[in-house]
Amino acid sequence: MTAMEAIEQLHARLSARFPDAAPTVVLNPGPAAQHSLLVPATQARAIAEFLRDDPELQLDTCSNVTGIDWPEREVTETVRRTVTEPPAADAPPGTAPAAKVVEEKVRRVVPGHLEVVYHLYSVARGHGPVILRLRTGDRGEKVALPSLTPVWRACEFQEREVFDLFGVVFTGHPDLRRLLMWDEFRNHPMRKDYVEPDDYEWEPTPHDRILAQARRHYPVPPTGSGEPAPR
């Protein structure tokens, strides 16, 4: 069975089980051909539990949780449509119009959003991965997604990392707080529009570049002023 056949079969099973929230197949054109399923956030928890508990699937392990930032972007797509051409002026009487397929380049704007990708395996049955994708409503106010930690405990620290670095808020997470950055840190450093600050709120190091940045915030006092210079 090819990867495409496997993902189509799984998609068919989920569509039958969740007819009001069927996932969408996202194709991966790369050599690995690890196609994925885009899952509606409203049904993500129920779909995850089905994947874990179904006797044939038994996806009992989540090995990896990854965040992706998708800023607003313009894409160009090729659209095919059928047009009807009237018969030529010199065509015999009664000639039917001819149908012709034409291709057009269409540009559209894709709104920005954040994405979380889960790689699932079955240790019990020895297969995988099955890849799930969840998307937020935007990159600003609608950044909440349901936590899958209650389904796979291995998601706990990895969802915290995605929260810390990308800003996805996982509702239902048992301990959602920053993992790599300190609590007072502002913003999310893996966002594509993140701007690195000059001052990281710690004492400057002796490295020249850091000292040069720090002097913009803490100017060196004149010699003999009695004030200590930054260390």
Give, in degrees to the nearest 5, the angle at Cα 50 between 45 and 51.
Answer: 100
Distance from C-alpha of 114 to C-alpha of 191, rounded to nearest angstrom: 9
Contacts of 217 by beta carbon, 8 Å cutoff, 6+ apart: 198, 199
Contacts of 101 by beta carbon, 8 Å cutoff, 6+ apart: 80, 81, 82, 83
211, exposed or middle or buried, with CB in 10 Å at 0-12, 13-18, 19+? middle
Distance from C-alpha of 26 to C-alpha of 14, rounded to nearest angstrom: 15
Distance from C-alpha of 39 to C-alpha of 25, rounded to nearest angstrom: 9
What is the average pLDDT across 102-116?
Answer: 92
Q: Which long-range contacts (CB under 8 A, 24 or more apart) does 77-86 make?
A: 77/105, 77/106, 77/107, 77/108, 78/103, 78/104, 78/105, 78/106, 79/103, 79/104, 79/105, 79/106, 80/104
Report the topology of domain 3-71+113-171.
Beta Polymerase; domain 2 (3.30.460)
Tokens for 78, please give them.
């090729």
Q: What is the pTM of this model?
A: 0.76
At which residue do the structure tokens 């990896």 appear? 64
pLDDT at 201: 58
Confidence label for 195 from pLDDT (cuts 50, 70 and 90): confident
Using the predicted structure, report yes or no on whether residue 229 has a pLDDT greater than 70: no
Confidence label for 36 from pLDDT (cuts 50, 70 and 90): very high
Tokens for 120, please give them.
């699932």
Bridging pattern class, strands 98-110 and 113-122: unpaired
Using the predicted structure, report yes or no on whether residue 176 has a pLDDT greater than 90: yes
DSSP SS3 for 124 = coil
Using the predicted structure, report yes or no on whether residue 205 has a pLDDT greater than 90: no
The domain segmentation of the chain, as residue ranges, is 3-71+113-171, 76-108, 197-231
Using the predicted structure, report yes or no on whether residue 206 has a pLDDT greater than 60: no
Using the predicted structure, report yes or no on whether residue 164 has a pLDDT greater than 60: yes
